[in-house]
Structure 1
């Protein structure tokens, strides 16, 4: 019989902004956002909690953020500094387990199933990781502890910021029963709206729903929805050495039939892609690509070789993919990067998000 996994998900609190507030305490109590620009069509990479009180969110267009919060303090940020702090935090994780799966610069899964620290108590390990991160970096982290990755990720968001939430194996059924479907990783606001239109709002609604209806409306995603709604997730924690690519995508609430709307959808994905790049270390960038899925569920991908990456490089790939739509609308936009084996060169990641020309 396979032993029960013990998974911790660590998520740093407003990481980029927190680093800047640590280094300049004068920023701590004012609305602060990293990324974007007042003079370009940028998007927000992250923001602190005073900014979030005004409704500012990551991946939000800068112009919209400034309408919500005119006094918002914008900073270009320093990716090199954030990477350095991220490596420091990663080194802390390694004191407790070798089985670590970074998701981005500011979050990671840690499998402590075989850890002997604190008598094998995942809860006490998570508490100590948070304590050490604060002591050594001056930053706070939120943690979720659960029997699998899906639940651990949700748990880390339950008591944010600077909190800990534990879901024990015997609590799983009761926890997921009332869990909003919008909280399932991968179910964005657009998908949540489509689910709600079908009367599906909580995990218990999915479990009692006809599978044929789920497949009709959500295709291959139906199986994942059904499993997650029962608290099932068999995915192991994978170390960063196994990652060959990173990508982000968004299924839109309504199909896009205007090219400029598609460009804007691409721009909104860029900061999300940036946040997933920190785990790649010295892996060399090999290719970049754009994926589109059309109204008739056909999908196409356009790729090119690349050793560096910026937002502008994706635009001509998007244009090529757009030409293949055959008068169909676009229902999904995605970006991805492919990596070669490790090499001495460092991946060049310009942090400032520029608008497409």
Structure 2
């Protein structure tokens, strides 16, 4: 039991990645304080309360990203904090209110509480390759993306890439805060996450797989890269448990075309009815690059191959009647 006796907080705990982080932490013997917006909403909390070890070592707390002191109770007495809470939306009418404020202000609210809580030794933040890839000139096939790459906020604004903008601004603000306050912070930077679901409802990233099966291609992209939610959760926990862990950790899978994805799904599930994609593809948005993932492997995280991730995602979607 790595976490025996240690108390940690996970923000946005009912979310896709966070639920897996909570599951892993409980299995490793940690006591977990999980923040959710509404602890009485069983659709959001039931899957957490059903986890192994939850009865003994999981406590739910109500907290809201935009309420300044709302994380104090949950973080009090914690050894470490995992901040995963941030809205994921790709279509927004008011980017500032819907994405940027909760991402940036929410992150600073949580970090502020961590700073004031003397027991907190390390903070692990969830970012996204959206905070890495959006830059001018665009990335090409010879570019090797590593932890030094950041998206360009002014280019994100120009192109109205609001989600990447929210993730970039939040991560930039977090690094500035950590530097100014001498905080031990680690940032996990995953690509497009799929894999089995613990929560009962479909989340934005896994919805892509359902869309592809139904003949849609919501991102109008030919190429996709997937990273397994279980690998991402493990990287978060290893970032806490590895004393020498530092800085950012990029996690991304190999590039697969939408045609490869369908071919793989047909091979794995011959009975699955996969519609033909009739949608336009936007060549402008194609990001072909190489990703350097050796740093995250140094934490002892092996990345699951895309075929296995696709298989486990579809099995999970079937089990949850979401297909």
Q: Same fold (TM over 0.5)?
A: no
Q: TM-score, normalised by structure 1?
A: 0.23
Q: TM-score, normalised by structure 2?
A: 0.25
Q: Which of 1 and 2 has greater Rg?
A: 1
